[in-house]
Structure 1
Amino acid sequence: MSNSDPSPAMDFLGFSGKKYLVMGVANRKSVAWAIARMIEQSGGEVIYTVRSEARRESTAKLLAGRRVIVCDVEDQSQIDSLAGTLASENVELAGLVHAIAFADYSEGMLPFHETTRKQFLQAIDISAFSLTAVCNAVRDRFAQDASVVTIGISTTRMASESYGFMAPIKAALESSLAFLTKSFSRFSEVRFNAVAAGLLKTSASAGIPGYVDSYLYAEKVIPRGRAVETDEVAATAAFLLSSRSSGITAQSLVVDAGMSINYFDAGVVGAVTAASVD
């Protein structure tokens, strides 16, 4: 579903008449959904993938009238099936959005050194390696100058307990951008970038133990006094998907509303030191 006749202003990003694969819509709060809406509003066509039949049913109303394909990225056969479907329909992709992440916190938020091998490997398979697996499978579906965008985090070097063991996973995802760019350059000009998002108010993040408190803290540290909005991350992703960003590849663009420059805000420091004295 797309706007078939966008105005010149709406088509500033050049999405009109092109097709994009968006992976990771779970509900209307999803970053993937915000990105997809921007593509559609600018005249592009979106093909959606969801992880299961149950997810397809839960998003049926949200994605009504759109093309939805089930693809669990833990299952290589489903990735191959997705690629086969796109090939049989001779689909050419102008871009791909990879907004997929998962970590098993069923035992609560444990110290990092207690992370199990099973937890870590599953998380890196779904959240990081899946980007490489999907892009390899659909490589013949990409336009020569297609753009791939994934969703990272604003820093992978901050040891925040509220993010568990996902920062090293996202670091692997971020590093893979350079290697994908280089290897794909042998036969194309496909670009690979990430939007490194600050703390967002999404359904997925709300389920992470301690995340809400970190989100509220972020609002205190961000210079403007309010957290990053999902649409701000989506707008950056849309830019990276467009030809307007043709000179950008293998990069992570930080969208944190300035949080990383303001950790030592006098008001925040004062509140902490006053509390420690009490």
Structure 2
Amino acid sequence: MDFLGLKGKKIVVFGLANKKSVAAHVGKVLTESGAEVIHVVRSEQRVAAARKLFPDSQVYTCDVEDEANIIALRDEIQEKNAGPIDGLVHSIAFANYSQGLKPFQQTVKRDFLQAVDISCFSLIAIANHFSSLLSRQASVITISISSTRMAAENYGYMAPIKAALESSVVFLAKSFSAFSEVRFNAVCPGLLKTSASAGIPGYIDSYLYAEKATFRKRALQTSEAANVAAFLLSSRSSGMNGQCLIVDAGMGMNYYDAEIVGKVVS
């Protein structure tokens, strides 16, 4: 039985960098479910990786920092594909700590605004320019984080930007409701083992701590976040709109775990 009903659905996935990417895991689940996945990567250098992982998928490039590229991408996808798009996956985030990691109040304005543009505004721009291609009941999802109010020093200014991203999900859901039933939701995973996260200073220590803070004492897998993404892209989640689904294996509710407390006070 095709429980998710994704077979034959056309879904565009933005953000694949390599096999560890959230976008790659989402693409894998969708492909296994029979969906037709179209991948969009940031640069020509990433095209080869995408085609190796998904030899049967179309692969396009788009630098979302330039809105004209998003428009050109839309036109190219429309020209080469018949029928509407049933889903969009926005798995894009970028932060340039040009002067190194600094206390939050010393955040460099140029870096912050560029990160907002790429990590948050790109979702709004993609939704806007692809609106004419979307089926009436399409599903759009983005990838956020499990808590935008956790002041993790080594995450720098990205948590406030993810908060803006999550707020944008709600406003997009509202604005699209005026002319369609397109849904917008966010998958909010806990700490994952991806190449992008490995570049965050001190991330490994945070990752190991997060693993101990989960109820099951086993780290969250990227595939688990991808499974939730597939659900949100399917008609099985038709009653969900403007939501942020936390996927953290209980980490956010386990502040007073006896094992962790014991190590601190011993």
2:249 — aligned with what? 257
Q: Is the 8 A contact 1:97 1:150 kept in 2?
A: yes
* Residue in structure 1 matching 2:4, options 13, 22, 26: 13
Give the aligned CA root-mean-square deviation in angstroms: 1.1
2:105 — aligned with what? 113
- Deviation sequence 1:217-271 (CA, Å, 0-9, x none): 1111111101110011000000000000000000000000000111111221121
Mapped partners of 1:135, 1:246: distance in 2 = 18
- Is the counterpart of residue 148 in structure 1 residue 116 in structure 2? no
The AA in structure 1 aligned to 2:6 is F
Instruction: State the Cα distance separating 1:136 from its structure 2 match.
Output: 0.3
Q: Is the 8 A contact 2:18 2:46 kept in 1?
A: no
> Scaled by the length of structure 1, what TM-score is found?
0.93
* Residue in structure 1 matching 2:23, options 24, 32, 42: 32
Instruction: State the Cα distance separating 1:272 from its structure 2 match.
Output: 1.2
Mapped partners of 1:49, 1:21: distance in 2 = 7
1:3 — aligned with what? none
* Residue in structure 1 matching 2:174, options 163, 182, 187: 182
The AA in structure 2 aligned to 1:164 is G
Q: Is the 8 A contact 1:108 1:209 kept in 2?
A: no
Unaligned runs of 5+ in 1: 1-7
Which SS does the other structure have where 1:113 is aligned? Answer: helix
Instruction: State the Cα distance separating 1:91 from its structure 2 match.
Output: 4.1
2:226 — aligned with what? 234
* Residue in structure 2 matching 1:200, options 192, 196, 212: 192
Instruction: State the Cα distance separating 1:108 from its structure 2 match.
Output: 2.7
- Deviation sequence 1:89-118 (CA, Å, 0-9, x none): 444111000000000134332111111111
1:243 — aligned with what? 235
Paired residue total: 265
2:47 — aligned with what? 56
Mapped partners of 1:63, 1:16: distance in 2 = 16
The AA in structure 1 aligned to 2:88 is L
Instruction: State the Cα distance separating 1:64 from its structure 2 match.
Output: 2.5
Q: Is the 8 A contact 1:86 1:141 kept in 2?
A: no
> Scaled by the length of structure 2, what TM-score is found?
0.97
The AA in structure 2 aligned to 1:155 is S
* Residue in structure 2 matching 1:164, options 150, 156, 165: 156
Structure 1 residues 59 and 107: alpha-carbon distance in aligned structure 2, compared to 1, 3 A threshold: farther
Unaligned runs of 5+ in 2: none
